[in-house]
Structure 1
Amino acid sequence: MHFKLIIVLVEDDKTDLVLETARKNGAKGATVVNNARGEGLKRSKTFFGLTLETQRDVLLLLVEEHLSRHILETVAQAAQFDSRPGTGIAFQIDVEDAIGVTHQVEELTHEIEDKI
């Protein structure tokens, strides 16, 4: 079984929405890294040296490759990444190998067989 790693950088108030959407579309779990900071095309506003931007979270989702594009698109739509600049971004990268996902592979095998 082949996997993709979906990386989502999102405003912290949308983290739960993204996680719920990803699970509904085939993701089996995620790792959340809290309190990331990012900068887009425009520099962040500051007030006496303190940034006035919302905190971001980094979500790491290891998903089966046949489900990855659908999960990526539904997460972006649910979190409205293309509607408002600075809301968040998501992208996927190939995973050469993964260990520790045997229990997920067993469950995914049954789900994926119907879709392939």
Structure 2
Amino acid sequence: MHFKLIIVFVEDDKTDLVLDTARENGAKGATVVNNARGEGTKQSKTFFGLTLETQRDVLLLLVEEHLSRHILEAIAKAAQFDSKPGTGIAIQIDVEDAVGVMHQVELLTHELEDKI
């Protein structure tokens, strides 16, 4: 079984929405890194040296490759990545190998045997 890693950079108030959406569309779990900071095309405004921007979270989702594009699109739609600038971005990258995922493989094998 082959996996993709979906990496999501999202405003912290949308983290739960993204996690729920990913799970509803086939993701089995995620790792959340809190309090990341990002900067888009416009520089952040500061007030006495403090940045005036919302916090970001980084979500790491290891998903089965046949589900990855569907999950990526569902996340983008739910969190409005393409309709509201600065809301967040999501990317997927190939995973060459993974260990510690045998429980996921067993679950996914039963779920995907009719689809692939």
Matches within 5 A, 1:1-116: 1-116=1-116
Cα deviation for residue 109 of structure 1 reads 0.4
Per-residue CA deviation, residues 41-63 of structure 1 (Å, 9 max, x unaligned), is: 00011111111100000000000
| Percent identical residues | 88
Distance 1:79 1:95 in 2: 25
Q: 5+ unaligned residues in a row in structure 1: which ranges? A: none
TM-score by length of 1: 0.99
Equivalent pairs counted in the alignment come to 116
Per-residue CA deviation, residues 1-24 of structure 1 (Å, 9 max, x unaligned), is: 000000000000000000000000
Q: Describe the SS at the equivalent of 1:13.
A: helix
TM-score by length of 2: 0.99
Letter in 2 for 1:70: H
Distance 2:115 2:13 in 1: 33
Deviant stretches of 4+, over 4 Å: none
Q: 5+ unaligned residues in a row in structure 2: which ranges? A: none
Q: Describe the SS at the equivalent of 2:7.
A: strand
Q: Describe the SS at the equivalent of 2:59.
A: strand
Per-residue CA deviation, residues 71-106 of structure 1 (Å, 9 max, x unaligned), is: 000000000001111100000000000000000000
Distance 1:51 1:106 in 2: 45
